[in-house]
Amino acid sequence: MEVAAALVRSGQRRPNEPLAQVYIEIERGSAGELDDDNLQGGTKLLIDVLEKPSRTNPHGLGLIENDNNQCVVKRRVTQAPAKRGQGYTRVLIAEVLE
């Protein structure tokens, strides 16, 4: 729900069809720093909700076709400092055109 609300607040609109090939960049801003395996693992549910809705993922937003390597051809996850209580997550999804 929070991802859908953030999408609406940003003024961005959903694509007519889920994107078939994408580059995803995620920036996590927080007062503390995660080690790399927790940073990468912490993005799983976020990327899952970007997928098209399905029986196993009924809350998918339909922004991307799938979260497999054929669809998400590249992903980058970074961290940035933020003051305590002002953490954020910023997501960029760019379509990869053949």
Kindly report, residue by residue over 15-70, the tens digit of the pLDDT.
889 999 999 999 999 999 999 999 999 999 999 999 999 998 898 999 999 999 99
Query: How large is the greatest C-alpha to C-alpha distance in the chain, in angstroms?
Result: 42
* Better pLDDT: 4 or 46: 46
Q: What is the number of domains present in the chain? A: 1
Which pLDDT score is estimated for 5? 67
Q: Do the beta carbons of residue 34 and residue 72 sit within 8 Å?
A: no
What pTM, to 2 d.p., does this model score?
Answer: 0.87
12 lies in which domain range? Answer: 2-95
Cα separation, 19 vs 66, in Å, equals 9
